[in-house]
Each structure stands twice: as structure tokens, then as C-alpha cells.
Amino acid sequence: MGNGQKRQGSLLKRLLVISAGLVLVVGLGAPYWLGQQVEKHYADYLQQLQRFDYIQVENPVYERGWFQASASYELIIEPELAQAYEPLLDAEMGLSFEGEPLRIVVNDRITHGPFMGALATFEGRAEASGWLFEQAIQLEEDEDFTRYAGRVGFDQMVEGEWEPMAVTLASGPLLNDLGVEMRYEGEYLGGEFHYDPSSGEYRSTNRLGQSRLVEPSAVHTFEGSTTDLVISFPQGVLREITLRSNDAPMSTESRDLQEVGNSRIEGQSVEIKFLFDDQGRFADLVAHFEMQGFESEAPDLYFTMDGLAADFTATRQGDSSWYGQLGLSLDGLAVREQFSPGFTAQSATVRLGLEPESEEHFQLAQLWAAEGLQIQGLEEPIAFHVESSYGQLSRTEYDTLWSLIYEAIASFQWNDPDALLPIFERMGEAGEALMAGRSVLTIKPATFSMGDADIVLALEADLLLQDIAGLDESFLLDAENRLDLSVEASAMLLHRVSREVLRQQYNGMLSGNELDAMAKEVVAGSVEPMLEMGVVRREQDGSYTLKVQLQDGQLLVNGEPGEWLLEQF
């Protein structure tokens, strides 16, 4: 029994020694292995940065210890980009620059080990230099551009936080010499960032507290904002950059009303999305902007608005041509301007767009509309809605124009602007060719009303522009040309418009009965000759109508042959 117990005890000791040895080996060896993995991921991260255009990564250093590592690298704006805008500033402002425009030095301290619950933890800081931060603007109080800390999980996910800090920026000697003196003081509240190497997606959130921008003519106060940034580059190819911002109230207090007026915005939001094709080329832009509760006041102008929304989209087709749409909506406008009639409007909408119709053609579409437009001095509100399109334009000539635009940008030189003249001549020729083909013009039922009186107009036309411009019978009556125009105007609208013109003209010198009688005479004197010629018809309800049709080489005016109408021109 004694010998057996001794043997068991000896075996237990050996197991304990072996276990302790294994733990020691793992405890000492794991940090080394983890350090190798972290160094590899860090190198992969720098390679991702190298893929971005206009950014260079220089002087990468990685010093790995057993439990910790220190790393650093520098980001520099690519010389080609600097060369693109430095001549512009030199020519326009008489400025010259020496050295780099912007260099950001990043320093990281990394800790890796098996008992941290993560592959590694890190903390770092970034410092900015170059004439942009030395001559144009200056960062005061703290040499660090930003500080951060985070962790790398065993799943290689990177999560971290931006540290809060006070930010003070002031205009540098370069701007001061130009008379541009500004000072920005703000409270950076920090934020979070997240990077998923498997999907190639980077997300970051940043928050600002109250801040203030002081310039000679005004003081701008910002109550705060939150900004979200998403960058997606799967398989190392940049596919998307999205920026979202939500801003709290902001106000401007003028120090010189001749330069800047007082204003306040209750809130605004912005979303901008850049999309790239599978080769990393810029291909789409989507932007949305909203503003709430805007008010601005200057000595001779007062402007308020309940809300504003703007949308912009652009898509590249082929190598260079761009199509897109711009939309703008405003609600609750009020404008009062000295020496000019003010106005209010319930809403106003503008939309302009270029869009492909087919592989050979594209069209221009537009919308202009307003509701409850009340102009100072007018007795009744106005409303209108005009929606039209102009199509069958040549995409080949449009592509040519875009290629010439790119060529002009590439060939531009400040010291030799005349070098672009041959390109401009070719652009003019391409523009003429673009407008020379057949075109389709459509005006959907467009309405204009004053109070409860209105006019409705609709137009569809398919013809050569030269034929419309010249009104030449031999060309306009070509069998391929087609036109359909209809107009219906209420007698009440004609009377009200005429009465309003007279009231403005005589500036209150005539009574209401006198204005009514004179307006009736003016309308009759204008309409009667057209009624006699058959150009305009009076309907049973008292409205006036006009219908012009051109089809198969025949012109009809209100259903009757109308070639005689062309002779009037």
C-alpha cells in the first residue's frame, strides 16, 4: 500500500508539473503567436489604405514585443491631387506653397495576449501637419488631431471609440493675409467606430456638442450634431461611401448687417451616398437634404420658411456621360423685400432631370409648381403646375459633349487659357448637332389659376427644331412632323388678369366698378379679333378654347384648315 501510494503521488506530481509546463508554454507562447497575427492584420489594413486614390502611405513601422507592439505610419495627400489645386490658388489668390499640403502621422500602442478576451487592444493618436494645418488653419491647445482606443476580437472585428476633446481651430497666416479671420471653438463629444474585415465595411459615428464659429461679420452658433460614416470596400474594391448628418438648431448673429444677416435654422439633415462600380470607379451619387424652420433677417430682406427638401441623383452611363435629377420642395415661404413686392406661398416645387429614353436617345424633364402663391398687391392667390419633357435627343452627341468636357479639364492651363479654344469650338459643333435632330416636346396638362379661375394647356409635338423656329410652311408641313396643342381659358381668368394689370397700372386711382368695366373692354378688344378669325372659340360656358393640330402634312385650327395661319407670321 505504501509503495502504491508513493507511485500515485509521484504520478500526480508529474501531471501537475506537465500541466504547469503546458500552461507556462501556452502563456508565454500564445502572446508571441497572437502578436504575429496582429502584425499581419495591421499590414493588411495598410494595404487597404493604399488602394484609396489620392492617399499615400509612407514610413510604416511595426515593432513587436512579446506582449506589446508599437506601430506608426503616415498618410499623405497624393502629389497629383495637390498639383491640381495648388495652381488654382496660385493663379486666383497670388499664393504659392512650399512643402506638403497635408500629412497625418498615426501612432498606435497595441497589447496582445491570451487572457484579454480579445486578439488585441490598442490605443492611438493622430497628428496633422503640412501647410494646410500650418498656414491655412491652425489647431490650438492640443497637438493631437484625434485620439482613440479599441479592441480586435478573435473574429477579427475591430471596435473602438474616439475620445472626447475640446477643439479650437483658427485661421492661419495664409488666410489672415487674405483678410479671412475665423476662429472655431467646439466640444467634440467622441464617437464609435467598427470595422469588419470579412465584408470590408467601416462604420464610424461622431458627435459634436455646442460650438461657435467667429468671423469679422458674424458669429455662428451650432447646438450640436451627429455624423455617421460608412465605407464599404469588399475584396479590397471601394464600392460605397455614405455620410449622414443630423444637426441641432444653428443660428447666425450678424456683426455687420451689410455683410451677413441674422438667421436661425431649427434643424437639418444631410445624406450623401457615393457608389462605385466593380472596378472602383465613381458611378453614382445620391444626396438628400432637409431643413426645418429657417428664418433670415437683413436690413432690406426678411425671409422665412417652414421646411425645405432637396434631392439629387447622378448616374454615369458609359465611360463619361452623366444623367440625373434635381428636386427641390419648399413649404411655408414668406419673403418681404424693401422696394419690391413681397410674397407668401404654401408650397413650391422644382424638378429637373436628364434621363435615357433608349440606347439612342435621352430626354430633359422638368416640373415647376406652386400652391397658394400670394404676391403683395394681388387680390387673389396664384397656383400653377407646369410639367414638360423634351426628348428624342441624341445620346451619341451627348456622349461627345461629355468627352470634350473631360478633355477640356485635362488640358486646362492657367498660363495658357487660349489652349482650350479649339475644344470649345468642337463643343459648340457637338451642341449644334445635338439640337439639330428630331425632337419630341410634351407639356402635360399645365394649369395656371388665380383664385377659382384657371387656364389649362397641353402640347405634344414631334418635329425638327428648325421647322418650329422658322415657321416655314414648306418645312413645317412635312408629313413626318406632328403637333397637338389645346388651350382652355376661363373668361373669368382673362378678366381678372386684365383687371389686376390695370389696378397696378393706375395704382388705386380707379374704383372697383371702373376697373371691372375697363377690364371687360380690354378683354373684348383682345379676344374679338381672334374670334372673328377663328383662331379662338367661345364655348357655351363662356370659356375660350384653342386647338391646333398638325398631322400628315395638314394643319388644322379648331378643326378647320389652318395653313392661312402660317402666312400671318
Q: What's the pLDDT at 528?
A: 85
Q: Which helix (H) or strand (E) holds 403?
A: helix 395-411
Least confident of 60-74, 244-258, 295-309, 461-475: 461-475
User: What would the mean pLDDT of 508-520 be, rounded to a whole number?
Assistant: 83
Q: What's the pLDDT at 92?
A: 46
Please report how many Cα atoms fall inside a 13 Å half-sphere around the Cα of residue 301, on the Cβ side.
Answer: 12
Residue 83 pLDDT class (50, 70, 90 cuts) = low
Domain ranges for the chain: 26-198, 447-567
Q: Whole-angstrom Cα distance, residue 29 to residue 38?
A: 14
What are 246's three cell numbers?
443630423
Q: Whole-angstrom Cα distance, residue 455 to residue 387?
A: 14
Least confident of 15-29, 146-160, 235-249, 294-308: 15-29
Q: Count of residues for the chain?
A: 569
What are 162's three cell numbers?
474616439
Residue 410 pLDDT class (50, 70, 90 cuts) = confident
Residue 90 has pLDDT above 90, yes or no: no
Give residue-wise pLDDT tens across range 32-60: 777 777 788 788 878 777 776 667 888 99
Q: Please spell the DSSP secondary structure of 219-254, one letter per residue.
A: EEEE--EEEEEEEE-GGG---EEEEEEEE--EEEEE
Residue identified by cell 471653438 is 185
Q: Whole-angstrom Cα distance, residue 423 to residue 400?
A: 11
Mean pLDDT of the chain: 83
| CB of 28 closer than 8 Å to CB of 35 | no
Residue 91 has pLDDT above 60, yes or no: no
| CB of 462 closer than 8 Å to CB of 482 | yes
Residue 26 pLDDT class (50, 70, 90 cuts) = very low
Residue 462 pLDDT class (50, 70, 90 cuts) = confident
* pTM for the model: 0.80
User: What would the mean pLDDT of 393-405 be, rounded to a whole number?
Assistant: 92
User: What would the mean pLDDT of 75-99 be, rounded to a whole number?
Assistant: 56
User: What would the mean pLDDT of 258-276 be, rounded to a whole number?
Assistant: 91
Distance of CA 473 to the CA centre of its chain: 46
Give residue-wise pLDDT tens across range 93-125: 445 555 667 788 999 998 886 666 778 889 999
Q: Which helix (H) or strand (E) holds 535?
A: none
User: What would the mean pLDDT of 131-139 be, rounded to a whole number?
Assistant: 74
